[in-house]
């Protein structure tokens, strides 16, 4: 790793503090932070990836906290799975056994997914 002189180190810290402040103000939204910093979003993203990876993780943390504050739980799994479960539920007219057959899953697993994706309520 290349050794930095004092000026380079100070510039790196100054850049990091400005980016951190912008990310904090925008709740981790990279597009809005880039606007505050008056730079293209792609430049900010590449700067974070190359020189400040911990700040990129910080932005992700802020975004996940913001989503949870709005009462939107972070759903694990991909959106294709969620969509497939919703489509199967609709095609089966709300019948659990038929939904499970369409998804090729056991009824208990199908029920867990339906609850997780807030398609049905837990009883």
* Residue range 3-28, pLDDT digits in tens: 778 999 999 999 999 999 999 998 89
The reply to whether 121 falls in a domain is: no
Question: What is the pTM (predicted TM-score) of this model?
Answer: 0.53
Residues 90 and 64 in one domain: no
Structural domain boundaries enclosing 29: 6-69
Residue in the block written with tokens 């056994």: 97
Residue in the block written with tokens 């997914």: 113
pLDDT of residue 74: 46
59-97 tens-digit pLDDT: 988 887 655 454 444 445 566 788 888 889 999 998 989
The reply to whether 1 falls in a domain is: no
Residues 15 and 36 in one domain: yes
The reply to whether 97 falls in a domain is: yes
Q: What is the domain count for the chain?
A: 2
Which of left, alpha, beta for 43 (phi over 0: left; psi -120 to 50: alpha)?
A: alpha
Q: How far apart are CA 63 and CA 69, in angstroms?
A: 10
pLDDT of residue 66: 59
Residues 11 and 59 in one domain: yes
> Minimal CA–CA distance to 58: which of 91, 90, 14, 23?
23
The reply to whether 41 falls in a domain is: yes
| Longest pairwise C-alpha distance within the chain | 68
Q: How far apart are CA 73 and CA 66, in angstroms?
A: 10
Rounded to 10 deg, the angle between the 41-51 and 6-26 helix axes is 130
The reply to whether 123 falls in a domain is: no
Half-sphere exposure of 100 (CA within 13 A, CB side): 11
Using CA of residue 33, residue 34, residue 37, residue 43, what is the dihedral sign? positive
Report yes or no: 25 and 33 within 8 Å, Cβ to Cβ. yes
């Amino acid at each position: 790793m290349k050794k930095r002189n004092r000026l380079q180190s100070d510039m790196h810290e100054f850049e990091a503090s400005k980016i951190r402040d912008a990310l904090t103000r925008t709740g981790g939204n990279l597009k809005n932070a880039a606007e505050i910093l008056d730079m293209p979003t792609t430049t900010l993203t590449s700067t974070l990836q190359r020189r400040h990876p911990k700040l990129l993780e910080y932005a992700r943390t802020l975004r996940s906290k913001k989503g949870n504050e709005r009462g939107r739980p972070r759903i694990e799994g991909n959106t294709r799975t969620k969509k497939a479960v919703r489509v199967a539920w609709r095609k089966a007219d709300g019948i659990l056994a038929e939904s499970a057959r369409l998804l090729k899953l056991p009824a208990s697993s199908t029920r867990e997914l339906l609850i997780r994706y807030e398609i049905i309520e837990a009883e």
